[in-house]
């Protein structure tokens, strides 16, 4: 007789992970619930709701009659996620801590704890995603040694597990799972991958999980909570006052507390000005932030990134843009998009898809020129007296991004 499979399910205290654990029990598995504490709420005067979330997760385990464990990854989260988050912002980049957290905490620290300490045959989470493996195939997976030797071979994974988009396209979370390793992915079950959010709520309501139904949706970055984002960052980073400057006439419109607080394409709240202004460029040396009114440059946030086997997204709900990827010898990737992309910023993750498969992601290191930069160059070329052979080329060149 085959032994009952042991699945360790990450519980957040929310409805998605609760229903995931319930569905695993219905499949006949031995299920253990684990709550991860990643942020020390005591350091932030109780703003983060970790303690209440832990209580809710424990209550889920009581209702489902499964064992409950709590682990603390506060130190690991600070070192691997939050420190990176601060360093990226200080350099003027736009990080995504949720992607980094999944890579280093949930699908590394928690994964190894579940397998090595609790003897799990597989782990599970409440993410809306799917893989190319059925449950029994997941249980049969063994650790696969990474290829060595030739450069090309290091990027090849034999019998790779595919990360697939969820049936509920609006709730799909493959964007945030795009950095999860093959080792973790091949031993992970996503019970909610084929369900809609509304159906998940219905299951919770029919199975005495009303306490998690009443909670608001988590939007990530629990360390910020309901606080003002700018005020939060300035608790950890030194202010660097500078000016908001209009690109129309080089006029100073106001002051700010740090150029690193703003990302390209973001609306800038400039004191005393009612009409919207948007960030188009930043000067890290002088600390100035250059802004524009949408009516002046309607394409101010567009960038033509430095070719179509794939499409890419810069945020979970962004419409995918067709592109071509070129792998360089130094491990970076060139991305050529077939159309301009709005509000690109270094530090963001570009996530790549082929059909419903998430191919992975990379952090943007360099950008192609913005529409504003190109228009500025064209105006300068028009005023110049050099011969046509000395004028700028018509199109932007390729730039390595990832």
Q: Which two tokens stand for residue 361?
A: 């992601």
> From the DSSP assignment, how many helices (H) and strands (E) are in the chain?
13, 19
**222 catalytically annotated:** yes
- Give how far the C-alpha of residue 202 lies from the chain's centroid of Cα atoms, to the nearest Å: 28
- Give how far the C-alpha of residue 218 lies from the chain's centroid of Cα atoms, to the nearest Å: 14
- The span from the CA of 386 to the CA of 402, in Å, is 36
Q: In what order do the strands lie in the sheet with 267-268?
A: 252-256, 242-246, 288-292, 277-283, 267-268
In 3D space, the residue among 118, 119, 124 whose CA is nearest the CA of residue 138 turns out to be 124
- The span from the CA of 334 to the CA of 350, in Å, is 11
Partners of 7 in the beta sheet? Answer: 31, 122
Query: In whole angstroms, how large is the CA radius of gyration of the chain?
Result: 24
DSSP H/E element including 302 = strand 302-303
Determine which one of 61, 222, 323, 358 is catalytic. 222
**358 catalytically annotated:** no
- The span from the CA of 111 to the CA of 98, in Å, is 16
Determine which one of 9, 48, 101, 358 is catalytic. 101
Catalytic residues: 101, 222
């Amino acid at each position: 007789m085959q032994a009952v499979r042991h699945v360790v399910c990450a519980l957040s205290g929310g409805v998605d992970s609760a229903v995931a654990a319930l569905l695993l029990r219905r499949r006949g598995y031995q299920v253990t619930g684990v709550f991860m504490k990643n942020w020390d709420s005591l350091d932030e005067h109780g703003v983060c709701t970790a303690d209440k979330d832990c209580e809710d997760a424990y209550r889920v385990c009581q209702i489902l009659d499964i064992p409950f464990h709590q682990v603390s990854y506060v130190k690991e989260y600070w070192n691997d996620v939050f420190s990176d988050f601060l360093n990226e912002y200080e350099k003027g980049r736009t990080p995504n801590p949720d992607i980094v957290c999944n890579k280093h905490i949930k699908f590394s620290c928690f994964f190894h704890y579940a397998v090595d300490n609790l003897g799990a045959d597989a782990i599970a989470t409440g993410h809306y995603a799917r893989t190319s493996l059925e449950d029994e195939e997941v249980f049969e997976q063994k650790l696969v040694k990474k290829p060595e030797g030739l450069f090309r071979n290091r990027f090849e994974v034999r019998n790779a597990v595919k990360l697939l988009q969820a049936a509920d396209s609006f709730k799909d979370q493959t964007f945030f799972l795009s950095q999860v390793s093959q080792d973790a992915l091949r031993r992970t079950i996503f019970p909610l991958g084929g369900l809609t959010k509304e159906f998940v709520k219905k299951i919770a309501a029919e199975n005495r999980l009303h306490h998690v139904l009443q909670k608001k949706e988590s939007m990530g970055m629990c360390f910020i909570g309901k606080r003002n984002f700018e005020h939060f960052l300035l608790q950890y980073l030194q202010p660097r006052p500078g000016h908001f400057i209009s690109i129309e006439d080089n006029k100073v419109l106001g002051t700010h507390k740090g150029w690193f607080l703003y990302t390209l394409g973001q609306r800038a709240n400039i004191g005393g000005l009612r009409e919207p202004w948007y960030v188009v460029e930043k000067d890290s040396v002088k600390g100035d932030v250059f802004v524009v009114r949408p009516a002046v440059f309607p394409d101010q946030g567009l960038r033509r990134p430095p070719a179509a086997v794939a499409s890419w997204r810069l945020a979970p709900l962004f419409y995918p843009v067709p592109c071509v990827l070129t792998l360089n010898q130094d491990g970076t990737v060139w991305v050529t998009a077939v159309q301009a992309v709005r509000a690109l910023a270094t530090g963001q993750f570009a996530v790549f898809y082929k059909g419903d498969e998430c191919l992975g992601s990379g952090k943007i290191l360099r950008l192609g020129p913005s529409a504003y930069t190109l228009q500025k160059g064209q105006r300068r070329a028009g005023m110049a007296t050099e011969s046509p052979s000395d004028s700028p080329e018509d199109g932007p060149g390729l730039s390595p991004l990832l």
